[in-house]
């Protein structure tokens, strides 16, 4: 790689063969040499030159989230860390345009439209509703999403290997693991009999995964109680009703109501002595009984690589939708003790992390 100083031709030297040439011949030689050097430099410039890095216009990345900016800030931090690891510098190679719906899903469409009007080059949609809101607004701007619903089943991609449209990202498989979560909850909670399934009916593929969870419950000899929620008031009411119905454990099928009001869900789960099984360790870290699922920070760092490739010219429809291959089981032993539960040794040994 040439240093910036090397882009300037050296001053003419006296003597030798050059001294016998005419001034016009020397000028023509220098001109040819300069054009040759300039052409070679231009070919390398977009990738290597520090001048380009300083003068190129930063690209705009949109960030769309249902919750407020203080909710799970680690996800945005992980995404930014992923970009920095790939050589991006905020303010120089990219600008981040964040939009938060503050828990109001009805605001997502307007916020997505605002990002599109602002000329973003790619949008990072952090949830299924965020992806769907962006999808309704634009079919041209690339959308990188953390997907909850099967993207092929939901009509967002032609296939996982080659999505074909303007949407790609990571399909996090959170609901596909519901049967495994139910099994792990039964192992950790002696005397588990009736399990509440906390969900929002009518959202995406929830009905399908509810049926799969009910099938798994029958195989495990467990009863299922449906806890349908769409607001904070629903959460209070449905936990009280579940307690009256003898529910002594809860499994969550991820939905924006539960995620937005995660602290309330954890509080009620513990208050009514219903040990909860969640899909991400953020719940266990906040006092939930246990969680089993992919590490979301890892997913957001991976999503940064998608944004990087798109900013470098790759079409989103050519980027395969990935699926996590590693899942972590986190057990909050402090919460277990507060609930009067002594998890069997098998559950403790199986856990990737025990919070004591």
d(Cα 262, Cα 232) in Å, to the nearest integer? 10
Average confidence score pLDDT of the chain: 86
pTM to 2 decimal places: 0.80
In DSSP terms, which residues pair with 252 in a beta bridge?
198
Question: Could you give the CA distance from residue 294 to residue 325 in angstroms, rounded to a whole number?
Answer: 8
| 3-class secondary structure, 308 | helix
Domain ranges across the chain: 1-8+18-45, 59-173+296-318, 178-293+327-355
C-alpha to C-alpha distance for 6 and 40, rounded to whole angstroms: 12
Fold type of domain 178-293+327-355: Rossmann fold (3.40.50)
Q: What is the pLDDT of residue 176?
A: 76
Beta strand 122-125 with 94-100 is: unpaired
For domain 59-173+296-318, the CATH class is alpha beta
Edge-to-edge strands, sheet with 122-125: 94-100, 59-65, 122-125, 143-147, 167-171
The reply to whether 59-173+296-318 and 178-293+327-355 are identical in fold is yes
3-state secondary structure of 234: helix
Q: Which pLDDT belongs to residue 266?
A: 97
First to last CA, the chain: 53
Using DSSP, state whether 231 is helix, strand or coil. coil
At residue 149, the pLDDT reads: 87
Band of residue 203 on the pLDDT scale cut at 50, 70, 90: confident
Dihedral pair phi/psi, residue 27, rounded to 5°: -60, -40
Task: State pLDDT tens for residues 316-343.
Answer: 999 999 999 889 999 999 999 999 999 9
Choose among 128, 288, 278: nearest CA to 198: 278
Residue 16 Ramachandran class (φ > 0 left, ψ -120 to 50 alpha, else beta): left
- Give the C-alpha distances (Å, rounded to integers) separating 200 from 252, 287, 293: 10, 22, 19
pLDDT digits (tens, 9 = 90+) for 41-81: 444 334 333 333 445 799 999 999 999 999 999 999 999 99
Cα separation, 200 vs 230, in Å, equals 6
Measure Cα distances from 297 to 21, 67, 76, 124 in Å.
67, 17, 9, 14
Q: Alpha-carbon distance 79 to 95, whole Å?
A: 13
**Who contacts 71 (Cβ-Cβ below 8 Å, separation ≥6)?**
65, 260
CA 97/CA 61 separation, integer angstroms: 6
Q: If residue 141 lies in a helix (H) or strand (E), which one and from where to where? A: none
Q: How much is the pLDDT for 20? A: 42
């Amino acid at each position: 790689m040439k240093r910036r100083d090397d882009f300037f031709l050296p001053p003419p030297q006296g003597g030798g063969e050059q001294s016998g040439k005419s001034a016009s011949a020397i000028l023509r030689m220098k001109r040819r040499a300069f054009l040759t050097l300039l052409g070679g430099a231009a070919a390398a410039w977009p990738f290597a030159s520090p001048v380009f890095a300083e003068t190129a216009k930063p690209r705009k990345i949109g960030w769309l989230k249902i919750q407020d900016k203080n909710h799970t800030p680690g996800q945005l931090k992980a995404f930014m860390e992923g970009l920095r690891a790939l050589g991006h510098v905020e303010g120089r190679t990219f600008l981040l345009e964040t939009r938060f719906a503050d828990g109001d899903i009805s605001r997502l469409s307007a916020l997505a439209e605002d990002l599109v009007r602002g000329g973003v080059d790619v949008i990072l949609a952090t949830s299924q509703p965020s992806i769907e809101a962006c999808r309704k607004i634009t079919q041209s701007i690339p959308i990188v999403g953390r997907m909850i619903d099967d993207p092929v089943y939901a009509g967002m991609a032609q296939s996982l290997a080659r999505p074909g449209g303007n949407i790609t990202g990571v399909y996090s498989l959170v609901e596909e693991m519901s049967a495994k979560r139910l099994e792990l909850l039964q192992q950790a909670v002696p005397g588990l009999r009736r399990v509440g399934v906390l969900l929002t009916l009518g959202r995406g593929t929830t009905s399908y995964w509810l049926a799969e969870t009910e099938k798994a419950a029958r195989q495990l000899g467990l009863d299922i109680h449906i806890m349908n929620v769409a607001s904070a008031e629903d959460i209070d009411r449905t936990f009280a009703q579940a307690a009256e119905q003898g529910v002594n454990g809860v499994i969550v099928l991820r939905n924006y109501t539960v995620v937005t009001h995660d602290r309330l869900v954890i509080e009620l789960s513990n208050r009514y002595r219903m040990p909860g099984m969640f899909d991400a360790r953020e719940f266990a870290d906040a006092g939930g009984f246990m969680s089993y699922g992919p590490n979301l920070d890892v997913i957001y760092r991976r999503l940064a690589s998608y944004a990087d490739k798109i900013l470098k010219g790759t079409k989103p429809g050519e980027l395969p939708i990935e699926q996590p291959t590693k899942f972590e089981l986190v057990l909050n032993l402090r919460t277990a003790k507060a609930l009067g539960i002594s998890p069997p040794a098998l559950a403790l040994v199986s856990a990737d992390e025990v919070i004591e």
